[in-house]
Structure 1
Amino acid sequence: MDNSIEEKTAHEKKIVGEMIRLYCRKKHGMKKSLCSECGALYAYAVGKIDKCPFIKEKTFCSACKVHCYSQDMKNKIKTVMRFSGPRIFLYHPILVIKHMIVGMQTRKTHD
């Protein structure tokens, strides 16, 4: 695995983690850690990112042709993303900007 794929994977894990943490903090009142439900969602998402056969080609999970999440987890992550997506920039602006740049670079190299 080359360095750019490792960086992309780490970045994807970080952004999904921050979005789940924001959701859990605001919806479940967790300050320092994730509740069991959000912790399970994060572990599931990280597992899927680690095993993704399309990591070289795709931008992020939301843009993937193959949706590997179970229906239950897919619904949970969509709920988290709908809530956290519009708010995450207020808490992690640099991370969001980097996420946008990585997405644009990946799209350019694979278009």
Structure 2
Amino acid sequence: MRQNIETKREREKKMVSQMIELYCKKQHHTKVGLCAECAELDSYARKRSDKCPFMETKTFCSNCKVHCYNPIMSEKIRKVMRFSGPRMIFHHPFVAIRHVIETKKEKRKLENDK
């Protein structure tokens, strides 16, 4: 079970990093890597994921009952998600499709638990 949680955690971190990278490339016009602001956000998001005590039961942060990002970083990641989310299908199609499927499963599960 522990291996499964770590795999899930790494997959989530990778997806968030891909979204931040896409955002930075398109919005901040970086050619290689991340700008300082996006690098800070990526590092912050990865640390939050590493410390998440709910990884076993949640699919993604958006489905979590506890939002652990500070307000400034929360707004920054929200911008990244709004921008990158719809574009992920063109840049990382497998990741995007898996995300949609897992999100729908989680929402159904939450509705059935009510």
TM exceeds 0.5? yes
Distance in 1 (alpha carbons) for counterparts of 2:44 and 2:21: 14
Question: Is the contact made by 1:57 and 1:106 (CA closer than 8 Å) also made in structure 2?
Answer: no
Structure 1 regions of 5+ residues with no counterpart? none
Structure 1 runs, 4 residues or longer, greater than 2 Å off? 98-111
Tell me which of the two structures has the higher relative contact order, counting C-alpha pairs closer than 8 angstroms and 6 or more residues apart: 1
Other-structure match for 1:54: 54
Q: Please state how far the C-alpha of 1:103 moved relative to its aligned partner.
A: 3.8
Q: What fraction of aligned residue pairs are identical, expressed as a percent?
A: 50
- Cα separation, 2, equivalents of 1:42 and 1:74: 12
Q: Report the count of equivalent residues.
A: 111
Query: Normalising to structure 1: TM-score of the pair?
Result: 0.90
What is the rounded CA distance, in whole Å, between the counterparts of 2:60 and 2:36 in structure 1?
A: 25
Q: Deviations over 1:53-87 (max 9, x none)?
A: 10001110111100100000000000100111111
- Give the TM-score normalised by structure 2: 0.88
RMSD: 1.7
Cα distance between partner residues in 1 of 2:9 and 2:109: 17
**Structure 2, gaps ≥5 residues long:** none
